[in-house]
Amino acid sequence: MSYRVCLVCLGNICRSPMAEVVLRKTLADHGLGDLVVVDSAGTGGWHQGDPMDRRASAVLTEYGYDGSAHRARQFLASWFGEVDLVLAMDVDNLRVLRRLAPAGADVRLLRSFDPAAPRDAEVPDPYYGGRAGFTEVLEMVRAASEGLAKHLATTLR
């Protein structure tokens, strides 16, 4: 049985799909690809079925990642029965998820796994900015993904 992680932002077209792609590769690089299933979703549903934002996809491609298969989805409360760890990109989405979560659900901020970041650090929404914001998001999710991979390597083995 696999350990399941779901990364969540607002619309599931920028931050959380970037984090999904990066975390999946990071886990594979750490030999955990067969143990952990990674996906993503948004707390809002207005982008359901849409591909990743073109700017997010372009930054991923530039750094050797492939986000072309992504299609946006909305996080549903019923998923808590199937997901072991839910990681929000920011405090607003964390609050939404915690309101949906049953008692005992593991819901945290993604950057809480980045040892160089404060425990309450957020991944800012790059949607209304330029390319630099997407590159910054990539750097943040890469650091947090490394920390999460190290955490899961000790937890799951």
CA distances for 110 relative to 53, 54, 69, 98, 137, angstroms: 20, 23, 22, 14, 12
pLDDT digits (tens, 9 = 90+) for 29-71: 999 999 999 999 999 999 999 999 999 999 999 999 999 999 9
Residue 94, strand partner residues: none
What distance in Å separates the CA atoms of residue 33 and residue 111, rounded to the nearest whole number?
Answer: 20
Phi, psi of 38 (to 5 degrees): -120, 135
Q: Which of 9, 24, 55, 111 is catalytic?
A: 9
The tokens for 51 are: 């591909």
Q: Which of 15, 24, 55, 142 is catalytic?
A: 15
Confidence at 11, pLDDT banded by 50, 70, 90: very high
**Rounded mean pLDDT of 80-100?**
98
The domain in which residue 72 lies consists of 3-156
Tell me what pLDDT residue 1 has: 76
Q: Does the annotation mark 14 as catalytic?
A: no
Q: Does the annotation mark 84 as catalytic?
A: no
Q: Does the annotation mark 6 as catalytic?
A: no
Q: How many separate domains does the chain show?
A: 1
Q: Which of 53, 84, 114, 125 is catalytic?
A: 125
Tell me what pLDDT residue 113 has: 98
CATH number, domain containing residue 29: 3.40.50.2300
Q: What does pLDDT average to over the chain?
A: 97
**Rounded mean pLDDT of 128-153?**
98
Question: H/E element holding 124?
Answer: none
β-pairing verdict for 36-42 and 85-88: unpaired
What distance in Å separates the CA atoms of residue 152 and residue 58, rounded to the nearest whole number?
Answer: 29
